[in-house]
């Protein structure tokens, strides 16, 4: 049996707690009088006049209780909404000396087998804090329960039931106004207690705050309603399923100690719901038949949700039923409308999982879960859905699918189309509540040309996982005749397999070590047979296979097709965004900016191949390297693409008809700003250092070295520097940006102000005392020499001024070149 430090009876509740003799207390009926209002449940709750009492059975002393705090109502402008979580902590009650009941905050850091000698050291090193001490007001029936007054504690400002100090700071809130704060209701249920309070805080309307709360400005105080759920954790925790980095699950960790160790171990286990066959179905389960679980995973739809969207949200939840069938369970998960006529149910009740609908301008949705910290068991989830998410979905779909789906060519989508978009997002967020992380590499499992193959798409979908950020099939061309359902993500083979890995019940005859070995071998064998089951992670590393918003196994080819569709869509958006309302072209502006953003995504998808490193997590038994560099050929292909679509002005995107309607006069439009951002990342010290590292470590036979990369990028940008040199405004901006970034690469301290924070630090950390700074200097000197030779023959005033400016920039950075101790010396390859 494991001793978990800071965890109830296994740690700090001594064996004689339940036989502790209390000193004389007041008679029960003198505290809980005849006029008391009593609600029975986990603890009996008594209200006597304005005082609230918990009657805690001795049998629950030391039991772990999860306290989840959520908003019920928030002030306008606060940025939070009813149903959103404030925080969660695990507590337990224990007897203390001098007629006290202590409330302790449980900490889950370390564990040890209670039969090992080291268990004592673990216990002694992890004392848990006492948050509150309550006087025992009376002893209950048969001297088996303690009555404590919780009124002042619930009404106080404390770390368990209120906002954290950081949250208060973000709202500019001060101290709690106790005379304006009160308990509105406490209800007790079989395994939980729900406490509802109104809390009012002093507030300052600081002029430095970006988001002022109107109530703070008008009154100097802010009032909010808060719900605290006290949920009894299972007496026997769910058996842990140990984490494997090759499968995308959220996870928790313990430090594990044992007498036979020579170093501390870290046990990491996944988050998952408790799904078990019914006792009467065990034999069916053993025979491989689908069985219903003892307890379904049920998600209720907030009654505040517009009625026409509820069926689509429910369908997005129910779509996961097929995945659970692969794990051996039927009807394991279901979405239901909230039973509005059932007064015994509360939307804030932590026993119920709810998709909460927020009247908010935010364009977002999220899918969290509440987890038993001892085992990783998911207890419930309150998903958040913001009303204005539909605006984001509309613009995405118009820009990514408008070339092939006529339904996308208007500002108000038909309910059926919007409903399908809502359904896909609901499925994605439900996946998170089931324990699944993002799998940003799932889209890479699909060859680009298959994204144009309707038959293949009907069978496989355009990505292997709905947990990717692969939105809509922007690769499909109008002539491909791809069905509209094959433009949208759906639950894929990775999702089904991940649910099977995390939720399949394993034989009770296997030891924990054998189960872990079985699950590890399952990953090795499955991914070897089907590469679509590969999990890549959140896309935060340098692996070009693992990116957000991308499609296919080749970013250059996919982006080419995507741009072709954008070129079809852009000339139509004035007509498509006409909503027959006087919107002052706001719709047109939003859709145009979405097109620019989509184009920018394509550029960054391609750029990630340059200096890219493939990361494939493996077990010790699997062959081959974990890390591999992107080949020279692919890096060059990526740079060549950027030359065609970024270094060369995308004139079609700078549509004067549209820009003359939506764009105020300014020096730089969104396209030029995108180009500048890309140049900064392409010439950043981090990327060039990776190119150097890859050349030395991974591609020794045919490396793409930094000097060749810088030579290529320089030739692309300055290829027309000759006697007929006549750059347009975009090219001049590009070339100035090149020089600014090369100076920052050579001398971070000489970078211009906008670059100092964005790039100079990164370059200084990555390139100090390396050849990269030398290469940057050499290219600046070479460019200075070329300008010197061309400048006397340039007659155009603006071109001449442009070259003189660049020449001066280089001289300011490296000193006088002509006739100085730094003559032009080309690098000899």
**202 CA to centre of own chain:** 33
> Is the distance from CB of 21 to CB of 132 less than 8 angstroms?
no
Looking at the DSSP assignment, which residues form a beta bridge with residue 273?
378
> Is the distance from CB of 154 to CB of 183 less than 8 angstroms?
yes
DSSP sequence for 728-791: -HHHHHHHHHHHHHHHHHH-GGGS-HHHIIIIIHHHHHHHTTSHHHHHHHHHHHHHHHHHHHHG
Cβ contacts of 584 within 8 Å, gap of 6 or more:
none
The kind and range of the H/E element at 193 are strand 192-203
Neighbours of 433 (CB within 10 A): 26
pLDDT of residue 119: 45
Q: Where are the domains of the chain?
A: 2-232, 279-600, 664-829
> Is the distance from CB of 277 to CB of 293 less than 8 angstroms?
yes
Dihedral sign (CA 78, 80, 83, 86): negative
Enter the tokens of residue 322.
Answer: 């097929």
Measured CA distances, 445 to 49, 357, 525, 547, 594 (Å): 65, 34, 17, 12, 26
Q: How would you classify the pairing of strands 44-48 and 37-39?
A: antiparallel
For the chain, how many helices (H) and strands (E)?
Answer: 27, 26
Cβ contacts of 552 within 8 Å, gap of 6 or more:
443, 444, 446, 447, 448, 451, 475, 558
Query: What is the rounded distance in angstroms from the CA atom of residue 622 to the CA atom of residue 292?
Result: 36
pLDDT of residue 457: 98
Cβ contacts of 370 within 8 Å, gap of 6 or more:
66, 68, 88, 231, 350, 378, 379, 380, 381, 382
Ranges of residues in the chain with a pLDDT under 50 are 1, 3, 8-19, 112, 116, 118-122, 207, 209-210, 819-829
Report phi then psi at 392, rounded to 5.
-65, -45
Enter the tokens of residue 534.
Answer: 């590969």
779-805 burial code (b ≥16 CB/10 A, e <16)? bbbbbbbbbeebeeebeeeebbebbee
Residue length of the chain = 829
Query: What is the rounded distance in angstroms from the CA atom of residue 499 to the CA atom of residue 741?
Result: 47
> Is the distance from CB of 592 to CB of 416 less than 8 angstroms?
no
Query: What is the rounded distance in angstroms from the CA atom of residue 419 to the CA atom of residue 114?
Result: 54
Could you give the residue ranges of the DSSP H alpha helices within 530-579? 555-569, 573-576
pLDDT of residue 18: 46
Rg (CA), the chain: 32
Q: Give tens-digit pLDDT for 175-200.
A: 888 999 999 999 998 889 999 999 99
Helix, strand, or coil (residue 444): helix
Enter the tokens of residue 671.
Answer: 């396209």
Enter the tokens of residue 219.
Answer: 């009154």
Quick one: CA torsion of 235, 238, 240, 241, rounded to 10 degrees? 180
pLDDT of residue 733: 94
The kind and range of the H/E element at 368 are none
Measured CA distances, 155 to 40, 178, 179, 468 (Å): 22, 7, 10, 44
Cβ contacts of 99 within 8 Å, gap of 6 or more:
22, 23, 25, 135, 136
DSSP code of residue 756: I
DSSP code of residue 446: S
Query: What is the rounded distance in angstroms from the CA atom of residue 278 to the CA atom of residue 294?
Result: 5
Angle of helix 706-718 relative to helix 632-642, nearest 10 degrees? Answer: 20
> Is the distance from CB of 381 to CB of 367 less than 8 angstroms?
yes
| pTM for this prediction | 0.87
pLDDT of residue 205: 65
CA neighbor of 162 nearest in space, from 243, 222, 79: 222
pLDDT of residue 306: 96
> Is the distance from CB of 13 to CB of 92 less than 8 angstroms?
yes
Query: What is the rounded distance in angstroms from the CA atom of residue 813 to the CA atom of residue 111?
Result: 59
> Is the distance from CB of 487 to CB of 566 less than 8 angstroms?
no
The kind and range of the H/E element at 522 are helix 512-529
> Is the distance from CB of 220 to CB of 177 less than 8 angstroms?
no
Quick one: CA torsion of 25, 28, 32, 34, rounded to 10 degrees? -140
């Amino acid at each position: 049996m494991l001793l978990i430090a800071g965890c109830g009876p296994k740690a700090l509740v001594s064996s004689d707690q339940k036989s502790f003799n209390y000193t004389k207390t007041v008679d029960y009926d003198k505290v809980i009088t005849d006029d008391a209002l009593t609600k029975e449940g986990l603890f009996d709750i008594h209200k006597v006049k304005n005082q609230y009492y918990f009657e805690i059975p001795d049998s629950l002393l030391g039991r772990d209780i999860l306290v989840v705090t959520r908003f019920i109502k928030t002030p306008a402008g606060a940025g939070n909404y009813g149903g959103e979580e404030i925080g969660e902590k695990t507590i337990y009650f224990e007897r203390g000396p001098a007629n006290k009941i202590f409330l302790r905050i449980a900490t889950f850091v370390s564990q040890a087998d209670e039969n090992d000698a080291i268990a004592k050291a673990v216990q002694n090193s992890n004392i848990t804090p006492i948050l509150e001490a309550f006087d025992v007001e009376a002893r209950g029936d048969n001297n088996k329960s303690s009555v404590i007054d919780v009124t002042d504690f619930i009404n106080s400002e404390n770390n368990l039931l209120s906002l954290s100090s950081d949250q208060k700071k973000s709202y500019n809130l001060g101290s709690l106004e106790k005379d304006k704060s009160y308990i509105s209701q406490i209800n007790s249920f079989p395994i939980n207690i729900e406490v509802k309070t109104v809390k009012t805080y002093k507030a300052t309307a600081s002029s430095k705050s970006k988001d002022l709360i109107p109530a703070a400005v008008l009154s100097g105080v802010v009032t909010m309603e808060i719900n605290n759920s006290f949920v009894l954790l299972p007496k026997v925790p769910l058996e842990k399923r140990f984490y494997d980095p090759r499968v995308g699950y959220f996870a928790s960790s313990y430090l594990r100690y044992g007498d036979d160790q020579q170093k501390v171990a870290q046990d990491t286990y996944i988050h998952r719901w408790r799904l078990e066959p019914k006792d009467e179905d065990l034999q069916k389960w053993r025979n491989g038949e689908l069985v219903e679980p003892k307890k379904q995973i049920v998600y209720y739809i907030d009654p505040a949700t517009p009625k026409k969207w509820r069926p689509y949200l429910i369908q997005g939840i129910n779509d996961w039923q097929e995945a659970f069938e692969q794990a051996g369970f039927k009807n394991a998960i279901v979405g239901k409308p909230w039973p509005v006529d059932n007064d015994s149910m509360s939307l804030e009740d932590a026993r119920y999982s709810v998709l909460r609908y927020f009247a908010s301008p935010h364009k977002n949705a999220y899918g969290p879960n509440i987890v038993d910290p001892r085992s990783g068991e998911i207890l419930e989830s309150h998903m958040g859905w913001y009303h204005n998410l539909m605006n984001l979905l509309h613009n995405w779909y118009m820009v990514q699918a408008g070339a092939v789906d006529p339904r996308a060519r208007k500002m108000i989508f038909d309910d059926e189309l919007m409903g399908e978009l809502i359904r896909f997002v609901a499925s994605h967020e439900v996946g998170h509540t089931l324990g699944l992380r993002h799998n940003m590499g799932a889209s890479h499992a699909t060859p680009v040309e298959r994204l144009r193959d309707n038959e293949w798409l009907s069978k496989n979908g355009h990505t292997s996982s709905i947990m990717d950020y692969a939105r809509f099939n922007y690769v499909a061309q109008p002539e491909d005749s791809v069905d509209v359902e094959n433009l949208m993500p759906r639950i894929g083979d990775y999702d089904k397999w991940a649910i099977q890995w995390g939720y399949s019940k394993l034989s009770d005859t296997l030891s924990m070590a054998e189960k872990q070995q079985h699950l590890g071998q399952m990953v090795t064998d499955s991914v070897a047979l089907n590469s679509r089951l590969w999990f890549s992670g959140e896309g935060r590393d340098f692996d070009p296979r693992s990116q957000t918003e991308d499609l296919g196994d080749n970013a250059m080819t996919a982006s080419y097709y995507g741009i072709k569709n954008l070129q079809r869509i852009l000339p139509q958006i004035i007509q498509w965004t006409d909503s027959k309302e006087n919107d002052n072209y706001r719709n047109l502006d939003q859709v145009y900016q979405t097109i620019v953003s989509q184009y920018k995504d394509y550029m960054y998808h391609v750029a990630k191949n340059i200096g890219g490193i493939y990361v494939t997590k493996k077990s010790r038994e699997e062959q081959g390297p974990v890390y591999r560099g992107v080949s020279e050929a692919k890096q060059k292909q990526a740079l060549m693409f950027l030359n065609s679509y970024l270094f060369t002005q995308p004139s079609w995107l700078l549509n004067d008809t549209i820009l003359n309607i939506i764009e105020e006069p300014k020096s730089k439009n969104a396209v030029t700003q995108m180009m500048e951002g890309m140049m900064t990342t392409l010439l950043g010290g981090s990327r060039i250092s990776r190119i150097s590292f890859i050349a030395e470590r991974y591609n020794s036979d045919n490396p793409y070295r930094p000097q060749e990369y810088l030579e290529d990028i320089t030739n692309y940008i300055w290829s027309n520097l000759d006697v007929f040199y006549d750059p347009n405004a975009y090219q001049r901006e590009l070339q100035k940006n090149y020089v600014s970034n090369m100076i920052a690469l050579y001398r971070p301290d000489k970078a211009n102000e906008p670059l100092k924070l964005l790039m100079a630090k990164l370059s200084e950390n990555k390139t100090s005392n390396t050849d990269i700074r030398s290469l940057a200097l050499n290219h600046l000197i070479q460019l200075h020499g070329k300008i010197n030779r061309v400048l006397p023959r340039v007659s155009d005033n603006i071109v001449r001024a442009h070259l003189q400016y660049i020449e001066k920039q280089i001289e300011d950075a490296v000193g006088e070149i002509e006739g100085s101790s730094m003559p032009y010396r080309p690098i000899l390859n």
